[in-house]
Structure 1
Amino acid sequence: MIHNLYNVGRAVTSTLLLFSFSYFLGFAQPLPRAELNFRSDNDLYLFNKQDQYYTNGIFLNIRKVADSTRLSPKEVNRLWGLTVGQKMYNAYTAQIRYIEEVDRPITAYLFVAADLDRYFANESVLSFTIELGTIGQRALGRQFQEGIHKVLNLYDIAGWEYQLKNAAGVDASVRYGGLLYRNPARWLDLSAHAEAILGLNHTGLSVAPTLRLGRVNPLYQSVYTSSRLQVHGTTANRELFFYYTPQLRFVGYDATLQGGMFLHDKGPVTHSPSRWVLYNQFGFAYANRAITLRMQYIFYSKEVPGMFFRHRYGSIGMGYRF
């Protein structure tokens, strides 16, 4: 009798301990409702020892799930985002001695952007972005590049005295895309998107298909579309895939090449852009419940017809969901 009571007591105690542990684990690891992302672009990631054209980009982004009661009947996910970033542009080298060497205008572009991304059950995605940015000395390009070179004990830079004049502007963009094909085994798919942007800093159109190979999720739950956060509190499956995205872009206006739209004196050197620019992007992406890792290689045709070279750079990104 005592032995049976002892066994029952042990079973009850074990069950209570297991329940308590499971409850604590669930409490300690709630489903993520926000995401913090960091991305760095640099041509030095290709180990080519150059500071050329689009030479550096740094971005900090935070994303948050929207109110699930606001979703339309066909909408399965909706996220808000806020990004702060800086892009830096040199000529063909960061050691410009003469103004005739400036084959691409020198400037930085400092901006803040807010976006709303809507994801639908048929795997289409609709995004809206509004962005406030500035070029010129206010974009802090010279200070940032000189500081990095001093910290890393790199060569002295020259040429920022030829940078574009200060100009600020607002841009608005809309992007729409969706799934075109996925094989039955779900390790290969093809999607595409188009984007239109209109504003004082940038105006243009672009279209891009994307091929993904590997362990992929639907476009409303994927690291590729920045949608691993889920408005209904579910957890997206782990992902690991390779992707390739060619992009054709029509450039209507680019303030980093042409200077401020309404400035009379735009700077010592401006250039008219190539109207059509072709980008090629190869990358790998990994994501689990909390972490995202991405690596990309991008090369593209000349932004300005008279540029000495075409350009390429690398990009690394990390994200944490909480």
Structure 2
Amino acid sequence: MKNKLYLIFALCTILANSSKGQSFKNEFGFRSDNDSYLAQGSDMYYTNGLYIHFRHATNQEHLKQSLEKKIFEISAGQKIFNPRSGYSPDPDRQDRPFAGYLYAGAAMSWYSKKESVFKMAVELGTTGPNSLSQSGQELLHNTIGFYELAGWEYQIKNENSINLSAQYTKLISRSEDNTTDLSFEGYANAGTIFNAVGAGFLFRIGRINQLFNSGATNSVISNQQKTSSFMPRELFFYTRPQLNYIIYDATVQGSMFNNDSPVTFGIQPIVFEQKLGLNYSSPRFTFDFGVYLRTKEVRSRAPGHQFGAISMYYRFD
């Protein structure tokens, strides 16, 4: 796995040399989450996630003076959850429900000259068999040669959903040599699947750009750019500690309206998450690798969980 990550990073670096001094207004790419990226031999709880994104920067000449950028985004994704093992045929021994979530969404982000970011998003989706998560996990296991799955007949039932979210990021301080900075981050989710609020901090060290020109905030794309970036390319380490208050999670608790799922649990309301990562962004490419460490989320014998995330984005006109 380490050799594969080094190869991907080297390829991005080589290809990025062909886009010196250029800027692009569109971005397409994906993010993949999986606990196997940490080479721990685990396949449990939040076991897999796949997300596809397309972003477009609107014409910056038409924005009011206080705004640096406005970026529109459409996305689709799937999250897959299972107990400690995907082979859990006995519902009495399951410590988290089998569950899936499939969605399509749209979002708009506003980036101010004073380096604050405000993002609003909406997702339409479904849980249960309609999420195709059982088929997705079976395809993954059959393709890679993993073990046989058992227990999906006890998954969370079908439930169509709508979820709204808001995120806010604000620069707190930055060093004079532009090599470190600290930002506040907060969010709120409300809907029929996920309800939560959280707050934390983003700390970056390395070759960094402003929050409106950075891979950290998905804002490298531009359309009639107003303010030049500090660096032609970013390469930085980051940490994102965050405290979350979970109000409702349908992938654990089932439907909030008519819960007829065979296996459900209560949620742990206070969840701490620590993300550590490395980000490389050129005008053409972004590559990001992050490690997520989460405390206990389910009121069962299930402990906290860790997983890795790989993101790759390509920019074009």
TM-score past 0.5 threshold: yes
Paired residue secondary structure (1:150): helix
- Check 1:83–1:312 CA distance in 2 against 1; reply closer, same or farther (3 A cut): same
Partner of 1:261: 256
* Structure 2 Cα separation of the partners of residues 262 and 179 of structure 1: 40
- Does 2:101 match 1:109? yes
Deviation, structure 1 residue 174: 1.2
Partner of 1:239: 234
Partner of 2:114: 122
Deviation, structure 1 residue 47: 1.2
Deviation, structure 1 residue 69: 5.0
Paired residue secondary structure (1:224): helix
Q: Which stretches in structure 2 are left out of the alignment for 5+ residues? A: 1-17
Pairing 1:280-295 to 2, within 5 Å after superposition: 280-295=274-289
The answer to whether the 8 Å contact 2:23/2:221 transfers is no
The answer to whether the 8 Å contact 1:78/1:231 transfers is no
Partner of 2:265: 271
Q: TM-score, normalised by structure 2?
A: 0.90
The answer to whether the 8 Å contact 1:168/1:260 transfers is no
- Does 2:136 match 1:144? yes
The answer to whether the 8 Å contact 1:32/1:233 transfers is no
Paired residue secondary structure (1:133): strand
Amino acid at match of 1:290: R
- Does 2:39 match 1:59? no
CA RMSD of aligned residues (A): 1.6
Deviation, structure 1 residue 290: 0.1
Deviation, structure 1 residue 30: 6.7
* Structure 2 Cα separation of the partners of residues 171 and 231 of structure 1: 30
Deviation, structure 1 residue 68: 2.9
Amino acid at match of 1:40: S
* Structure 1 Cα separation of the partners of residues 196 and 40 of structure 2: 31
Partner of 2:7: none
Q: Which of 74, 92, 101 is the matching residue for 1:100?
A: 92
Superposed CA deviations along residues 168-221 of structure 1, whole A, max 9, x for unmatched, are 111111111210010111101000111111111111101010110000000000
* Structure 1 Cα separation of the partners of residues 187 and 145 of structure 2: 41
* Structure 2 Cα separation of the partners of residues 154 and 170 of structure 1: 33
- Does 2:151 match 1:159? yes
Amino acid at match of 1:242: F
Deviation, structure 1 residue 54: 0.2
Amino acid at match of 2:171: L
Partner of 1:311: 305
Paired residue secondary structure (1:78): strand
Pairing 1:6-45 to 2, within 5 Å after superposition: 31-45=23-37
Q: Which of 167, 183, 202 is the matching residue for 1:191?
A: 183
Paired residue secondary structure (1:314): strand
Amino acid at match of 2:275: Q
Deviation, structure 1 residue 50: 2.0
Amino acid at match of 2:254: G
Q: TM-score, normalised by structure 1?
A: 0.88
The answer to whether the 8 Å contact 2:32/2:50 transfers is yes
The answer to whether the 8 Å contact 2:59/2:224 transfers is no
* Structure 2 Cα separation of the partners of residues 83 and 60 of structure 1: 5
Paired residue secondary structure (1:185): coil
Deviation, structure 1 residue 70: 4.4
The answer to whether the 8 Å contact 1:59/1:84 transfers is yes
Q: Which of 191, 200, 205 is the matching residue for 2:197?
A: 205
- Check 1:216–1:205 CA distance in 2 against 1; reply closer, same or farther (3 A cut): same
My pick for the range that moved more, 226-235 or 113-122, is 226-235
Superposed CA deviations along residues 97-148 of structure 1, whole A, max 9, x for unmatched, are 2111211111111011110000001101111001112110000111111111
Deviation, structure 1 residue 39: 0.8
Which entry has the higher C-alpha Rg, 1 or 2? Answer: 1
* Structure 2 Cα separation of the partners of residues 264 and 286 of structure 1: 44
